[in-house]
Chain A
Amino acid sequence: MLNILIDKNNLIIFSFVLFIQILGINFLLLFFKEFLKKNNLFLNLSYSWFFGNAVFSFFVFLIFIFKKLNLLNLNSFLGLLFLTSILFIFLFLKHKKKIKIKRSNLVYLVFTLIFFTPLIIESLTSFLVSWDALAIWFLKAKVLYLGQDILSFLKSENFYYSSQAYPLGISLVISFYYRLINQINDQAIQFYFVWFFINMFFLFFGLLLNFFEKNFPKFLLFLISITLIISSAFIIYSHNGYVDLQVGYIFLVIFSLIYFFLVKKENTSFYPKLIFLGLGYSLMIKNEALPFSLIGVFILLVIFGLNFGFLNFFRKYFFYCFSFLPFLYWEVYRRVNLIPSFLDSNLIPKKENFLRLKVVFNYFLLEYFNTEKYGLNLVIALFLIIFFGTILFYRRKIIKMIPLLLILLFQIFSYFYVFLITPFPYIVQLESSLERIFLQFIPLIYFLAIVFIFEAIGD
């Protein structure tokens, strides 16, 4: 095991992941320390990983736009890592009294890492075989690394299968790593992917601690978090080169921020800022983030606008709308350069396609109750949502939860919509993508079940 861990390329990927994690902590400590102070260790780890990725992706995208990717190499990275670490030490010493880290949480952190060590080892020793990984994400990363003209690749009819219209966020990050090691290594980079999965665990555990630490033993909450995360579909997709579980994690983070924005009574002005940044980042990863972002922005606008006025909303948060620039740039770029997407010019469903709805619904239902892939979790979550949702309804507390339900339903509806308008045989598309679609919103269902219980009995 040691020779795997001390392999040069693996050491670099560990540093790379550490760099993004520290970058996120620094970012939150610098600009959102009030937010950081409120959270426990696990929430902070997870949120800092998320925002570290957001900041880093914006940075790499900027370099890509200005065609300066060849400036990235191991030396420049080590310089960045050094500066980030110094800043982290400085900020940590400055704020260490305000950020309380419980010793028991540190013990659980170590225990978590030990528990997931086999998975980490497997991620580092996995060769790449999965379809989308080869066809889309890693192929584009290779193109970006080799410094080939990405435009000629995107327009090449040899690679029409490569979903050219997808955003480049993940591929840019992978190609960044390739530049650090100066070669293509699609094995070691899987650790970056698995770290998203582990951070999803941190988030669930952190949320459970946040809600129920006073009522339940910590070890029990730990077991529940593990149970949520170790279903076979999650394990397989945690490091096979697909990005859907990562998209699920991204949605979960934003979803949780929206929830805190809705329920927190004290100063919450930083939540919309964080949500905007998160949505901007999500749009750099996969097209499925578009409906999620649209409904997310709509809800923020309505809630904030109704309470404080729309003008105030724009005055306060206009700057954060810049986080959508990478997405807007990409959309303009691909339309100007005629990079094809099957959604273009197919936006209105044909009348006869509405018959598909019933079939798609049945497929969704069957997938939902597939215990082989998701264990008992989804079934239990559904019953919990119905049961505690009823309690919240009679206590008139459900109104607070409606925006969350709306986001989830809108996201699921958007998948139905795509199957309505797709020019491809929709059954083929449905069967090949259903599992991955589910990975994107399952974390949201778990989250809803958790907050429904908390809202019903937590107080």
Chain B
Amino acid sequence: MIKKYYFYPLIIAIFLISFHFYSFYQESFFQMMNLIKNKKHQTLYEKIQSENPYYEVWLLAKNGKNVYFIFEDKNDKNLDYNTTYFKQKQTGKKINYYLSELKLNIDYFFYPKVIKPVSLWEILYFHQDNIGKYDIVISDYELDEYWERINSQIYSCFKKTVLEKEYDERFKTFYKRLKRLLISKKEFIPINRHPEKPYYIYQVIN
């Protein structure tokens, strides 16, 4: 006859295996507590929020800044199936719509204000004249990188069309008006999450 006591070591072993993983998390449970100890922000909420990868976006929303959002990260992984589907049902035409984590955070933090995502091309051709001093540009595309590229020697060797030249000129004018704002380094490492894609914040200085 098998006695119930025979199962005890088995149960304890299974518990220990599970607890091993829990204790792994337990270490990180206190990580944030240690991080916020020395922070100088006014409220506990902001101390914690300062470790949010999108803290700077939250801060801009909190301060009611006028923001333009350049959304260039349009790939299949960012397809917004819901919007694409519902728009297609409404209009009969299939146009792909995209949604990135950055856009999601901008929408969430800025609500009720709606920040429409625009491409860099749209900014250069349609919005540049409307952008005023102290306005903010959030971009998922590194403008500095493009600036360096068009100023490199090798770039000047390529033959460009009239439209490409015009685009670059407009970009240079736009870029000269911008100052890149630093995004603070976040110490908190969330568990089991993929790292956020980088984003860039610029302030219009003239």
Contact = CB atoms under 8 A, between A and B. Distances in A.
Interface in A206-237: 215-216, 220, 223-224, 226-227, 230-232, 235-236
A351 B24 CA distance: 47
B159 interface: no
B87 A160 contact: yes
A376 B11 contact: no
B114 A4 contact: no
B32 A126 contact: yes
A151 interface: no
Interface string A25-55: 0000000000000000000000000000000
Contact of A121 (B17, B30, B116): B30
Contacts of A142: 108, 111
Contacts of A109: none
A163 interface: yes
B108 to A, nearest CB: 5
Contact of A236 (B81, B116, B192): B192
A134 B191 CA distance: 18
Given A143-B111, A224-B15, A232-B21, A129 B87 contact: no
B104 A187 contact: no
A429 B82 CA distance: 11
B107 A158 contact: yes
B125 interface: no
Interface stretch (A74-82, A320-328, A390-398, A420-428): A420-428
Contacts of A425: 81
Interface string B98-109: 010100110110
B134 interface: no
Nearest to A457: B4
A267 interface: no
A428 B87 CA distance: 19
B192 A127 contact: no
Contacts of A135: 104, 108
Task: Tell me the dominant secondary structure on chain A's binding face.
Answer: helix
B104 A127 contact: no
A161 interface: yes
A375 B21 contact: yes
Nearest to B35: A125
A376 to B, nearest CB: 6
Q: Determine the interface band of chain A, counting residues with CB < 8 A from chain B.
A: 35 or more
A146 to B, nearest CB: 6
B30 A118 contact: yes
A123 to B, nearest CB: 9
Nearest to A161: B82
A376 B11 CA distance: 11
A9 interface: yes
A413 interface: no
A71 to B, nearest CB: 22
A340 B90 CA distance: 11
Contacts of B12: 220, 223
Given A4-B44, A127-B51, A376 B17 contact: yes
Contacts of A10: 44
Contact of B11 (A163, A187, A224): A224
A199 B105 CA distance: 31
B112 interface: yes
Contacts of A118: 26, 29-30
B203 interface: no
Contacts of B52: 127-129
A90 interface: no
B48 interface: yes
A216 B112 CA distance: 56
Contacts of A223: 11-12, 15
Contacts of B158: none
A223 B22 CA distance: 13
Contact of B44 (A9, A119, A146, A380): A9
Contacts of A159: 107
A118 B30 CA distance: 7
Interface string B64-92: 00000000000000001111011101000
A46 to B, nearest CB: 20
Contacts of B96: none
A310 interface: no
Interface string A320-342: 00000000000000000000101
A377 B18 contact: yes
Contacts of A163: 82
Contacts of B114: 156, 158
12 contacts: A127-B52, A129-B193, A146-B111, A146-B112, A156-B114, A161-B99, A187-B45, A187-B49, A227-B14, A227-B19, A231-B18, A376-B18
Interface of A: 1, 3-4, 7, 9-10, 118-119, 121-122, 125-129, 131, 134-135, 138-139, 142-143, 146, 148, 156-161, 163, 185, 187-188, 215-216, 220, 223-224, 226-227, 230-232, 235-236, 340, 342, 375-377, 380, 423-425, 428-429
Interface of B: 4, 8, 11-12, 14-15, 17-19, 21-22, 25-26, 28-30, 32-33, 36, 44-45, 48-49, 51-54, 80-83, 85-87, 89, 99, 101, 104-105, 107-108, 111-112, 114, 116, 190-193
Which 5 A-B residue pairings sit nearest by Cβ, starting from the closest? A118-B29, A127-B52, A160-B83, A230-B22, A122-B29
